[in-house]
Amino acid sequence: MEKYAKLTLCSEYAVGDVDDRVYGSFIEHLGRAVYGGIYEPGHPAADENGFRADVAALVKELNVPLVRYPGGNFVSGYNWEDGIGPVKDRPRRLDLAWSTTEPNTFGTDEFMKWCARVNTAPMMAVNLGTRGADAARNLVEYCNHPGGTCWSDLRRKNGAEKPYGVKLWCLGNEMDGPWQMGHKDAAAYGALANEAAKLMKWTDPSIRTVLCGSSSYGMRTFGEWETTALDLAYDNVDYVSMHQYHGNSDQYLENFLAKGVETEQFIRSVVAALDYVQGKRHAKKRIDISFDEWNVWYHSNGAQFEKWCEAPHILEDVYNFADALVAGTMLNAILRHADRVKIACLAQLVNVIAPIMTENGGGAWKQTIFYPFYYASKYGRGKSLQTLFEGSKYDTRWYSDVPHADVSAVLGADGTLAVFAVNRDLTDPITLETKLLDFEGFAPVKHVVLENADPEAVNTAECEAVRPAEKPLAAPDGRTLRTVLAPMSWNMLLLKKR
């Protein structure tokens, strides 16, 4: 069967504006994300705050507009008050989420400082597992109230005269999961989230809140969870979250590369659930998606570590080349749904299922998944264009009609057109024929490609086996741009209006 891919683009046909916040990420108190990741006092590259400058430089390269914190599963047992004030007085605690010891030498104020250091905005999560509305509204007061009250004055005493102005707040984490501390059913969670969000917004009406959706597409409660919890909390929430991680534990590569199809199905189903509740309530307000955990995650499953130690090497997936392709298709799905996915967080940022890896006391380097994210974050800001697409397809045991080529396209305000394309086929190149309906005056800039004959190739501190190459991009023939996508490759075709 001949493999082919035909894309038609028109600058007037947009899905919607890409919200910059889809290039967010996530730092949890988990493994070496904080300790030995972004924060390592005594490291040769550490600044006066203990923040690693080498890591900060890589984070800045990714240009993440927001970072979710402090969890994740961790937040559902976290007393935020443990992480403020003089470090010597902070308690050491058992973290029941990950069976480790939390030293609390890094907390809210350190995180805010770090955000300023790397030019990002905090997205805070509150504990709705072991705690509730009171602790949540106090944290909003601590972070956002100017002064003259107990919590805001404590922040000032702790060194931050001005409020942090945190705009985005997650109402707990994965509360649908039995593994979560304080797990609840949808009705109990919806009622609690509503009360917490109400008090948080009374404390600071400018904040926006994110209700926990399902922790995966495969949850037995998926759909029911969203509609029940959202109906109860509708008036006080602005976004509903979705989380998704793909894996390839069965080493079935064709199937693994197809998993972006499931991301697309998941997004569509969540949109349907949100719109159903809006319709049912005849509500004016529309609820959008915060896809605040997405990535590939499976390599580190089952890794052993000593229980209750500090900052162990856990969830340290070493990403291979195939993982970068899957990450690229997840980004494409997010961009194709730019009208409804307004926030997204690559989970996570450093060491823990992350694009950036470090050695304690040593170097920092880029994992394979760094690159699709880097290019999307750099060139995928603007208007997401409708991808009128026709192409050959394949089936796996799990999925039917998987397009060999997976595409998205973004037109930037500066006249840059970026087409992101993954060729999922293991053996054959595919010519992507892009018909540019109204792009007169656009000239080719470059073709960036991530290709490798070995799907298991990985990057290490010593060797960057997977890195992008730049090629010339052939000029369009009339209106048609023809670009060969190598087998198993991620590509960015870049054009610019002269």
Q: Which is nearer to ligand AHR, 43 or 259 (CB)?
A: 259
- Interaction with ligand AHR in 194-223: which residues (CB under 6 A)? 215
Shortest distance in whole angstroms from residue 81 CB to ligand AHR = 21
Chain centre to alpha carbon of residue 210 = 14
Residue 40 is a binding residue for ligand AHR (CB under 6 A) = no
Sole binder of ligand AHR in the list 5, 23, 68, 73 (CB under 6 A): 73
Q: Which is nearer to ligand AHR, 100 or 348 (CB)?
A: 348
What single-letter amino acid sits at 476?
A: P
User: Which residues, other chains included, contact 468 with Cβ-Cβ below 8 Å and sequence gap of 6+?
Assistant: 371, 375, 448, 449, 450
Using the contact rule CB under 6 A, the part of the chain among 42-50, 67-75, 271-279, 386-394 near ligand AHR is: 67-75
Beta bridge partners of 419: 409, 493
Annotated catalytic residue 174: yes
Radius of gyration, alpha carbons of the chain:
22
Shortest distance in whole angstroms from residue 75 CB to ligand AHR = 8
Q: Which is nearer to ligand AHR, 113 or 183 (CB)?
A: 183
Q: Which is nearer to ligand AHR, 348 or 358 (CB)?
A: 348
Which stretches does DSSP call E strand in 38-160? Answer: 66-69, 93-95, 100-102, 121-126
Shortest distance in whole angstroms from residue 487 CB to ligand AHR = 31
Sole binder of ligand AHR in the list 174, 238, 264, 323 (CB under 6 A): 174
- Cβ atoms of 429 and 257 within 8 Å: the answer is no
For the four alpha carbons of 9, 378, 292 and 209, in that order, the dihedral sign comes to negative
Sole binder of ligand AHR in the list 72, 132, 355, 412 (CB under 6 A): 72
Q: Which of 81, 102, 110, 293 is catalytic?
A: 293
Residue 172 is a binding residue for ligand AHR (CB under 6 A) = no
Q: Which is nearer to ligand AHR, 213 or 403 (CB)?
A: 213
Phi, psi of 14, rounded to the nearest 5 degrees: -110, 145
Q: Give the residue at shortest CB distance from ligand AHR.
A: 72
Q: Which is nearer to ligand AHR, 96 or 253 (CB)?
A: 96
Cβ neighbour number for residue 140 with a 10 Å cutoff: 22
DSSP 138-194: HHHHHHH--SSSHHHHHHHHTT--S-----EEEESS-TT-TTSTT---HHHHHHHHH
- Cβ atoms of 427 and 487 within 8 Å: the answer is yes
Cβ neighbour number for residue 286 with a 10 Å cutoff: 10
Residue 28 is a binding residue for ligand AHR (CB under 6 A) = yes
Residue 347 is a binding residue for ligand AHR (CB under 6 A) = yes
Residue 241 is a binding residue for ligand AHR (CB under 6 A) = no
For the four alpha carbons of 169, 171, 176 and 181, in that order, the dihedral sign comes to positive
**Three-state SS at 388:** strand
Q: Which of 174, 195, 226, 264 is catalytic?
A: 174
Give catalytic residues, as residue numbers: 174, 293
Binding region for ligand AHR (CB under 6 A): 28, 71-73, 173-174, 215, 293, 347-348
